[in-house]
Amino acid sequence: MISLNKLDADKSAKVLSIDAGINLKDRLYDLGIKEGIVIKKITAASTRGTVVIKLGRGQIALGSGMASKIIVEPV
Amino acid sequence: MKILLMGNPNVGKSVLFSRLTGVKVIASNYPGTTVEFKKGAMRFCNIKAEVIDVPGTYSLRAVSAAEEVAVKLIAGAGLIINIIDATNLERNLHLTLELIRKANKPIIVVLNMWDETKHLGIEIDGNKLQELLGVPVVATCALSGEGIKELVYKINEAKLSALKYSKLPLWDEIGDIVDSVQKLHHRHHTFLDVLQDISIKPPFSFAVGLTVIILSFFVIRIIGEGLINYVFDPFFENIYSPFILQVSGFLREGTFWHKIFIGNLTGGEIDYRQSLGLVTTGFYVPFGMVLPYIISFYFVLSVLEDWGYLPRLAVLTDRLFHRLGLHGYAIIPMILGLGCNVPGALAVRLFEAKREKFIAATLMAIAVPCMAQTAMIIGVLGKFGGQYVLIVFIVLFCLLQILGNIMNKLIKGQSPEILLEIPPYRLPHIGSILKKLWMRIGGFIKEAVPLVLTGILAVNILYFLRVIDFFAGVFAPVITKVWGLPKEVIGALLIGFLRKDVAVGMLRPLGLTLKQLIVGVTILSIYFPCAATFAVLCRELGIKDMVKSVMIMISTTVIVGFVLNIILTLGGV
């Protein structure tokens, strides 16, 4: 169980929980980022950098602050 | 009857809107191109309908300004055309189900980008989807126009869905629908996939970014200079000049009308850059100097937009903009601003909070010169060497950094974080690129050229009424002592409120030294936005914030002019 920004690049992981307020949770939910889905991290320049994930066929970029609130389990 | 076009960002709503109504709109391959809703008219089954292109939304929860607009529009709508990116069915159905359950309006669903599903190995059973959703489903490819006729034919079949609320969570319900209508076939990675990967992953992403930027500048310059040297200058010299000299002879030098229309002759010849007449400089500035670069810039920008590179550039510059109180998507208003500050100012709407809007707008107005101005800077400084043009741009880039950092520290609040869907690369469609280019050139000719002519006329009138002399006297201490410029520069500063390109052009007849030219064009870039941009910024920021922003601009100008004057003097320029 680690936060998304600590996940290594090119690793897939399952989203366990999102420790954020309802506002951010909703925005992530709209993009399909929710508990139970499997995502693949594409970039990880550092734990403070911008995170890009692959979700289905699309790619989504998110700030490191947001990524730190997404708790995942590597699969 | 009102018809709404609704869908997620970047699914092709604007292209479809153009197809249905014939109204030309700018469409690109990145989310958020449409920040204002657009209206057009169409006819189906002998009914006249108003079609509204609604900015993209992910949900009806109204968390962003664009979504709020969408929710308000639904109340007055007769029916809704919900556009779906067929290559990303799962994500898009989220809004579809919300619309079906919450909007309470007849709906028709459009599976757009249908042609791409075939290349991607996606097979969607449209009939089954229609059955499950309980509303008509039509497949289209808006870019090529495929399926549009069928859509128009079927619009009156749009209906309220009888779809019941499900006990499952929304995404699970969507998952079930997708599983039963969509089949995925394995396919090999294409060249675009590989390119997509390397342009997002460091360290290659930085190399790709640098290559794209350098290549863009190079191509803009080649096309711009090529057009000037081989098309526009020969036209002015060989065809236009003889005609104008005849007119000049007819009006006779020294008369009032000669002064207004032809301006001052230089040794019996026309110097288009200095004469300041309506049909000489007034035509040469917009057509002979600016238009070639407008053409080359927008050609390159259109290719980048439709290809889908800009969101990747946003990811690349995210951390840089984070320090300036923004996030990477600020690259969109900045790049649009490089063409013209007006669309740049409108794109500031991509930001939600007041703080971000203020910072983005102020930085854009100060540090991003529009193409018209850039073309004139190249025209004025270029003959001394490209390095002097570069100095101006380096100063502006440093200003972007310094001012952004200062505003980020001083203004209460935090930098927002990026949350952005990155669209796939698409091979630019030459037809749509040319169409977009044509629209932007048309926009320049219709909106900018009259203002340029007004500017030239205003110069003559202001000189005639001695208004410029009056202001020159008032502002002489700052202009001469602080900036080291002759006080006549005030004329350019006054006209710069109207058009920056004319203002830069007015520096030429003053016989400035190289150092004075560099200081002059830099000051003209940062001191105040042109009238058109100013009007848009007032609307977007509100008067109070606009006053603050203008104060930042003016104080920055005074300081930068002073510092630059000293540095260049010490540097021996």
DSSP state of A33: -
Distances (CA, A) of B312 to A43, B289, B561: 12, 32, 35
**Confidence grade of residue B513 (pLDDT, cut at 50, 70, 90):** very high
- To test the contact with chain A by mutation, choose from B323, B422, B425, B426 the residue with the greatest count of A C-beta atoms within 10 A, namely B422
Distances (CA, A) of B191 to B209, B303, B339, B449: 18, 18, 30, 43
Which of these, B485, B302, B334, lies nearest to B400 by C-alpha position? B334
> How much of chain B exceeds pLDDT 90, in percent?
72
List, for residues B349-390, the tens digit of each pLDDT value: 889 899 999 999 999 999 999 999 999 999 999 999 999 999
Are the C-beta atoms of B182 and A56 separated by less than 8 Å?
Answer: no
**Over 90: is that where the pLDDT of B26 sits?**
no
* Chain-chain contact of B200 with A42 (C-beta, under 8 angstroms): yes
Mean pLDDT of A7-30: 91
* B29-43, B152-166, B176-190, B250-264, range with the lowest pLDDT: B29-43
Mean pLDDT of B512-516: 96
Per DSSP bridges, beta strands A51-55 and A38-41 are: antiparallel
Partners of residue A56 in chain B, C-beta under 8 Å: 88, 90-91
Q: State whether the Cα torsion A50-A53-A58-A63 is positive or negative.
A: negative
**Over 80: is that where the pLDDT of B211 sits?**
yes
From B173's Cα to the closest Cα of chain A, the distance in A is: 13
Put simply, whether A56 touches B (Cβ < 8 Å) is yes
List, for residues B129-179, the tens digit of each pLDDT value: 999 999 999 999 998 889 999 999 999 899 998 887 788 888 889 999 999
Helix or strand or coil: residue A1?
A: coil
Considering CB atoms only, which of B319, B322, B420 is closest to A60? B420
Amino acid at A33: I
From A62's Cα to the closest Cα of chain B, the distance in A is: 4
The predicted pLDDT at position B393 comes to 96
Per DSSP bridges, beta strands B107-112 and A38-41 are: unpaired
* Chain-chain contact of B419 with A60 (C-beta, under 8 angstroms): yes
**Confidence grade of residue B25 (pLDDT, cut at 50, 70, 90):** confident
Per DSSP bridges, beta strands B182-184 and A2-3 are: unpaired
* Distance in angstroms (rounded) separating the CA atoms of residues B454 and B314: 38
**Over 80: is that where the pLDDT of B524 sits?**
yes
Put simply, whether A63 touches B (Cβ < 8 Å) is yes
List, for residues B387-409, the tens digit of each pLDDT value: 999 999 999 999 999 999 999 99
* Distance in angstroms (rounded) separating the CA atoms of residues B52 and B3: 6
Place of tokens 């998304």: A4
The predicted pLDDT at position B177 comes to 94
- To test the contact with chain A by mutation, choose from B61, B208, B420, B426 the residue with the greatest count of A C-beta atoms within 10 A, namely B420
Mean pLDDT of B3-12: 93
The predicted pLDDT at position B292 comes to 97
What is the pLDDT of chain B when averaged over all its residues?
92
> How much of chain B exceeds pLDDT 70, in percent?
100
Partners of residue A31 in chain B, C-beta under 8 Å: 58, 91, 419, 421
Tell me how crowded residue B176 is: count the other CB atoms within 10 A of its CB: 13
- To test the contact with chain B by mutation, choose from A4, A5, A18, A30 the residue with the greatest count of B C-beta atoms within 10 A, namely A30
Mean pLDDT of A17-40: 90
How far is CA B46 from its chain centroid?
A: 37
* Chain-chain contact of B59 with A9 (C-beta, under 8 angstroms): no
Helix or strand or coil: residue B123?
A: strand
The predicted pLDDT at position A44 comes to 66
DSSP state of B87: G
* Distance in angstroms (rounded) separating the CA atoms of residues B121 and B185: 5
Helix or strand or coil: residue B231?
A: helix
List, for residues B295-320, the tens digit of each pLDDT value: 999 999 999 999 999 999 999 999 99
Backbone angles phi, psi at B38, to 5 degrees: -115, 150
Window A:3-22, CB contacts with B under 8 Å:
9
Amino acid at B113: M
Put simply, whether A50 touches B (Cβ < 8 Å) is yes
* Chain-chain contact of A56 with B90 (C-beta, under 8 angstroms): yes
From B110's Cα to the closest Cα of chain A, the distance in A is: 20
The predicted pLDDT at position A46 comes to 65
From A19's Cα to the closest Cα of chain B, the distance in A is: 16
The predicted pLDDT at position B74 comes to 92
ipTM of this complex: 0.95
Q: Please give the interface size between A and B, counted as residue pairs whose CB atoms are below 8 Å apart.
A: 87
List, for residues B58-72, the tens digit of each pLDDT value: 988 866 777 788 888
In terms of residues, how long is chain B?
A: 573
Are the C-beta atoms of B560 and B399 separated by less than 8 Å?
Answer: yes
The predicted pLDDT at position A47 comes to 64
* Distance in angstroms (rounded) separating the CA atoms of residues A48 and B323: 13
Partners of residue A34 in chain B, C-beta under 8 Å: 171
Mean pLDDT of B463-469: 90
Tokens encoding B348: 């500031």
The predicted pLDDT at position A45 comes to 60
Considering CB atoms only, which of A43, A57, A63 is closest to B417? A63
Place of tokens 């300036």: B324
List, for residues B336-351, the tens digit of each pLDDT value: 999 999 999 999 988 9
**Over 80: is that where the pLDDT of B187 sits?**
no
Considering CB atoms only, which of B58, B88, B327 is closest to A58? B88
Tokens encoding B570: 């010490």
Residue of B nearest to A35 (CA): B171
The predicted pLDDT at position B489 comes to 94
Tokens encoding B329: 């998507």
Mean pLDDT of B552-565: 97
Tokens encoding B568: 């260049």
